[in-house]
A and B are shown apart, each in its own frame.
Chain A
Amino acid sequence: MHGRRRVKSTAEAERARREKEAVKIQEYRQLVENCFRMEIGCCPQRSNHEYTQNAFEITTKILWQNPDFYTIWNFRRNILIHGLLKDAPEDQRQGLLSEELVFLQEIFQSNPKSYWIFNHRRWCLETMPIPDWKKELYLVEKMLELDARNFHGWDYRRYVKSKLVNSMQPKELLQTDLDFTKKKLEQNFSNYSAWHQRSKLLPHLLSDASEDERKRLIDEEFGIAKSAIYTDPDDQSAWLYYWWLLGREPHHTSVRDDSIHEESSMALATVKGDRSTILAGEIEELKELLEEESNSKWCLQTLMHFYQELKYAKKLDDSELYNLDNEMEEICVRLIKIDSMRARRYEDIRNNLN
């Protein structure tokens, strides 16, 4: 349905295709009917259930064609729980569920975004006597190599990691994550998912670290972000991560705590000097970058954002405010030209300057 290429076809070919489809539809319907008959029987007391190998194989056939038919996954689990796995010795259960994992891997190839496949995988691993979580981590990382933006994969990776918590030291686990995301970023700085992961990791790492360790981690983090920015000034992922590292003044209108702000202010709290000094320093560096990359929309937007933050971070006197507003106005004018798609927004900002 999604993403099928347009292909020219003759009336003859069309007819043949429809006939073939009709047969497939009929076969599929028959399978589903058989399946339901076996599971439900005719009796509300459910004594006619067939939790047999035969029923199991029917679910396999259906799921090959339609892994999103969630009812059939439920049947399959019931067949396993009440039939095939029931009273089986440990090694048999291990074997059966390991085969399940192989089956899942096979249908995953053509359905990399099916929730149901991931869910059944979780169920298998949680049901089997000896799950191999390390192998599972390896598998999901291999998958993310093929599709680095598959958020099902990233979510599943976090789940697998949470299972490894008992067998690995928390620090070791965090380090594995840092290494993994760093690797993904080195492969491709546009890996938004990897930046996102890091924004979740960093606060955990910082909370346990010593003063020196924290400084080292923050410096390294700034290093990675800036490296990405200088390599490709047009890539928004790195810029937005850089904004997050610099944090935000709590001037929002929400009633409750700003958890995002708290996370990143942990980052900044460890850097020596007050925030306005840090911002001023970053602003100087950005101006230098701007000289080389005068058309970098993100460089300009970042400057404007930092000027705005500076206004909140420090009480400015009238002349400082005036100068700042002038700079911001000039940036708006440049952005209206460079990023005409969002011109109206920049005009709005310009009009709101004093």
Chain B
Amino acid sequence: MASTDCNNENDALEDDPLTEDLLPTSNITFDKDKHVMYFKRCMAYLPEPYTNNDTNRMTLAFFGLGGLDLLNMIETIYSAEQREQWIDWIYAQQILPDKDNPGKLLNTLLRSNVPRLKFQSLRPWLELNRHICGFRGSPFSGLPYSREGCRESRFPFDAAHLAMTYTALCSLLILGDDFSRIDRGAIINGLTYLQKDDGSFTQTYHGMESDMRFLYCACAISYMLKDFSGINIEKCVDYIRRSQGYDYGIGQKPGLESHGGSTYCAISALSLLNKIDEGLISKDRTIFWLLSRQVSGFQGRANKPEDTCYSFWIGASLKPSFDLKILGAFDYIDKEANRLFLSTTQGRQGGFSKWPDLIPDIMHAYMGIAGLSLMDEPGMSTLDCALNISRKARQNLENSVFWQGD
């Protein structure tokens, strides 16, 4: 959105260490075109250092698509055909109920109010692959590509992953899909296998990580599919309550220190469940904790350095969502200081890095854009804070099959 002339001048000034301090903050511009190019490059190719994130490819795709969506460039850059191809790729990662699964009747019985004790232990055996339904992160398990998804149960470790299901749904909305090929029942049923007694969720069936991130994913998935029957809401709220620390910030799990990321996950989950007042012990004190994270940009924990991504995690915790009031204290932050910090982590060829002078990565690039969008940066779309998607994608959600005439 900024003119090229203005940018060249700023670039020259930025490179000269003597004038760095003299840059008036209102002259800070964010080069939208460079960011668009950065995301475009990432969507085409991610270099070797990303290899160890291949199982998380769905989330990387979400960062790329989300960034371009907030920059209002999805339909400009990508043809309808390309978007369809991507929608197909996403659906190809959907693990659907095995064709040999017991039929609807048995499934209803398993989920009914009939004394469940003797059925519970039989469930995994009877349900074949129902415990792993949802989306995986990439074709890492080597199954043949099919836009219809897959109905195999052969691969014991080919399981859906909560964060991949969440980002798959978001990405589909960004690309304009209406969820007509989603097997809602299978996904919601899959959630029932993932919640632990303490209320938290593991990321996959028999997974070993369980913390606030996956609790958020489970709530967001339920919200987007308009079906909360797969999660125990009381236990979710209880887990969040117990994860609050003496400083009223929220940790990844009970006993862990308060952290910006987990605080966002908890607050957003509570607002999607409409349980903010039950879940937060003191809204006031949590707001205070969040505001105290601002150094210039934001830090994730007390006495740690600022990091681009917390402009999103902390900012989105403070800002009200469209129809869901979160905490509503975003206007208390110092926007100019935040912008100043983000200008120092902006990459010369677009994207953002965690700290100044590092190579940008796709996650921080998205977070930087999202952080700017929260501050109503010109040329950017508004963000739905609780779901972390654009207003347009949110509109697509409201037009999706589960929200229309249920």
Q: Pick the 4 closest A-B CB pairs, nearest first.
A: A244-B246, A66-B52, A199-B246, A21-B48
A-B contact pairs, 24 of them (CB 8 A): A6-B359, A32-B140, A40-B156, A44-B154, A65-B51, A66-B54, A70-B55, A70-B204, A71-B140, A71-B141, A74-B157, A75-B157, A116-B208, A119-B208, A151-B257, A192-B302, A236-B292, A237-B303, A253-B277, A256-B278, A259-B241, A260-B281, A342-B294, A345-B329
Q: Give min CB distance, B353 to chain A, whole Å.
A: 8
Q: For the complex, give the distance between the alpha carbons of A2 and B309 in Å.
A: 11
The reply on A216 being an interface residue by CB < 8 A is no
Q: Say yes or no: A154 contacts B277, CB within 8 Å.
A: no
Looking at B5-13, B222-230, B247-255, the stretch in contact with chain A turns out to be B247-255
Q: Say yes or no: B255 contacts A200, CB within 8 Å.
A: yes
| Interface residues as binary, A208-250 with B (CB distance below 8 Å gives 1, 0 otherwise) | 0000000000000000000000000001110011001000100
| Interface residues as binary, B290-317 with A (CB distance below 8 Å gives 1, 0 otherwise) | 0110100000011110000000000000
The reply on A295 being an interface residue by CB < 8 A is no
Residues on B lying within 8 angstroms of A by beta carbon are: 47-56, 140-142, 154-158, 204, 207-209, 241-242, 244-248, 251-253, 255-259, 277-278, 280-283, 291-292, 294, 301-304, 329, 331-334, 337, 353-355, 357-359, 361, 363
Interface centre among B53, B141, B303 (most CB of A within 10 A): B303
Q: Give min CB distance, B29 to chain A, whole Å.
A: 21
Q: Say yes or no: A260 contacts B248, CB within 8 Å.
A: yes
Q: Say yes or no: A65 contacts B329, CB within 8 Å.
A: no
Q: For the complex, give the distance between the alpha carbons of A125 and B358 in Å.
A: 38
Q: For the complex, give the distance between the alpha carbons of A235 and B141 in Å.
A: 49
A115, A190, A258: which contacts B209 (Cβ < 8 A)?
Answer: A115
Q: For the complex, give the distance between the alpha carbons of A21 and B248 in Å.
A: 46
The reply on A68 being an interface residue by CB < 8 A is yes
Q: Say yes or no: B245 contacts A199, CB within 8 Å.
A: yes
CB closest chain-B residue, reference A346: B332
Q: Say yes or no: A236 contacts B278, CB within 8 Å.
A: no
| Interface residues as binary, A1-40 with B (CB distance below 8 Å gives 1, 0 otherwise) | 1111110000000000000010011001000110010001
* Given known A236-B302, A253-B277, contact A2–B361 (CB-CB < 8 A): yes
Residues on A lying within 8 angstroms of B by beta carbon are: 1-6, 21, 24-25, 28, 32-33, 36, 40, 44, 46, 65-71, 74-75, 115-116, 119, 149, 151, 154-155, 158, 190, 192-193, 195-196, 199-200, 235-237, 240-241, 244, 248, 252-256, 258-261, 263-264, 340-345, 348
Q: Give min CB distance, A47 to chain B, whole Å.
A: 13
| Further 13 A-B residue pairs, CB within 8 A, beyond A3-B358, A254-B278 | A66-B52, A116-B208, A149-B301, A151-B256, A155-B256, A193-B257, A199-B245, A244-B247, A252-B282, A261-B281, A341-B334, A342-B291, A345-B332
Q: For the complex, give the distance between the alpha carbons of A66 and B56 in Å.
A: 12
Q: For the complex, give the distance between the alpha carbons of A154 and B257 in Å.
A: 9
Q: For the complex, give the distance between the alpha carbons of A66 and B51 in Å.
A: 8
- CB neighbours (8 Å) of B256 from chain A are 151, 154-155, 196
Q: Say yes or no: B52 contacts A342, CB within 8 Å.
A: no
Q: Give min CB distance, B208 to chain A, whole Å.
A: 4
A21, A36, A75: which contacts B142 (Cβ < 8 A)?
Answer: A36
- CB neighbours (8 Å) of A195 from chain B are 246
Q: For the complex, give the distance between the alpha carbons of A68 and B358 in Å.
A: 23
- CB neighbours (8 Å) of B53 from chain A are 1, 68
Q: For the complex, give the distance between the alpha carbons of A260 and B207 in Å.
A: 30
A5, A240, A259, A261: which contacts B242 (Cβ < 8 A)?
Answer: A259
B158, B253, B303, B357: which contacts A235 (Cβ < 8 A)?
Answer: B303
Q: For the complex, give the distance between the alpha carbons of A195 and B245 in Å.
A: 11
- CB neighbours (8 Å) of A248 from chain B are 282
A1, A199, A240, A255: which contacts B361 (Cβ < 8 A)?
Answer: A1
Q: Say yes or no: B281 contacts A28, CB within 8 Å.
A: no
Q: Say yes or no: A241 contacts B246, CB within 8 Å.
A: yes
- CB neighbours (8 Å) of B281 from chain A are 252, 254, 258-261
- CB neighbours (8 Å) of A24 from chain B are 48
- CB neighbours (8 Å) of A342 from chain B are 291-292, 294, 332, 334
- CB neighbours (8 Å) of A4 from chain B are 49, 358-359, 361
Q: For the complex, give the distance between the alpha carbons of A195 and B283 in Å.
A: 22
* Given known A1-B53, A2-B361, A254-B278, contact A341–B303 (CB-CB < 8 A): no
Interface of B (DSSP majority class): loop
- CB neighbours (8 Å) of B278 from chain A are 254-256
Q: For the complex, give the distance between the alpha carbons of A119 and B301 in Å.
A: 24
Q: For the complex, give the distance between the alpha carbons of A241 and B303 in Å.
A: 14
Q: Say yes or no: A68 contacts B361, CB within 8 Å.
A: no
- CB neighbours (8 Å) of A253 from chain B are 277, 283
* Given known A71-B141, A252-B282, A342-B294, contact A28–B51 (CB-CB < 8 A): yes
B49, B251, B357: which contacts A1 (Cβ < 8 A)?
Answer: B49
Q: Say yes or no: B257 contacts A192, CB within 8 Å.
A: yes
Q: For the complex, give the distance between the alpha carbons of A255 and B234 in Å.
A: 13
CB closest chain-B residue, reference A29: B51
Q: Give min CB distance, B323 to chain A, whole Å.
A: 21
Q: Give min CB distance, B300 to chain A, whole Å.
A: 10
Q: Give min CB distance, B293 to chain A, whole Å.
A: 10
CB closest chain-B residue, reference A190: B303
B49, B154, B208, B246: which contacts A260 (Cβ < 8 A)?
Answer: B246
- CB neighbours (8 Å) of A65 from chain B are 51-52
Q: Say yes or no: B302 contacts A237, CB within 8 Å.
A: yes
Q: Give min CB distance, B84 to chain A, whole Å.
A: 28
Q: For the complex, give the distance between the alpha carbons of A196 and B245 in Å.
A: 7
CB closest chain-B residue, reference A37: B142
CB closest chain-B residue, reference A155: B256
Q: Say yes or no: A151 contacts B304, CB within 8 Å.
A: no
Q: For the complex, give the distance between the alpha carbons of A254 and B255 in Å.
A: 21
Q: Say yes or no: A155 contacts B291, CB within 8 Å.
A: no
- CB neighbours (8 Å) of A1 from chain B are 49-50, 53, 361, 363
Q: Say yes or no: B140 contacts A25, CB within 8 Å.
A: no
Q: For the complex, give the distance between the alpha carbons of A253 and B281 in Å.
A: 8
- CB neighbours (8 Å) of B358 from chain A are 3-6
CB closest chain-A residue, reference B278: A255
Q: Say yes or no: B291 contacts A345, CB within 8 Å.
A: yes
- CB neighbours (8 Å) of A341 from chain B are 294, 333-334, 337
Q: Give min CB distance, A337 to chain B, whole Å.
A: 14
Interface centre among B157, B251, B337 (most CB of A within 10 A): B157
Q: Give min CB distance, A20 to chain B, whole Å.
A: 9
Q: Say yes or no: B241 contacts A256, CB within 8 Å.
A: yes
B141, B204, B244, B354: which contacts A3 (Cβ < 8 A)?
Answer: B354
* Given known A3-B354, A119-B209, A254-B281, contact A71–B55 (CB-CB < 8 A): yes
Q: Say yes or no: A240 contacts B247, CB within 8 Å.
A: yes
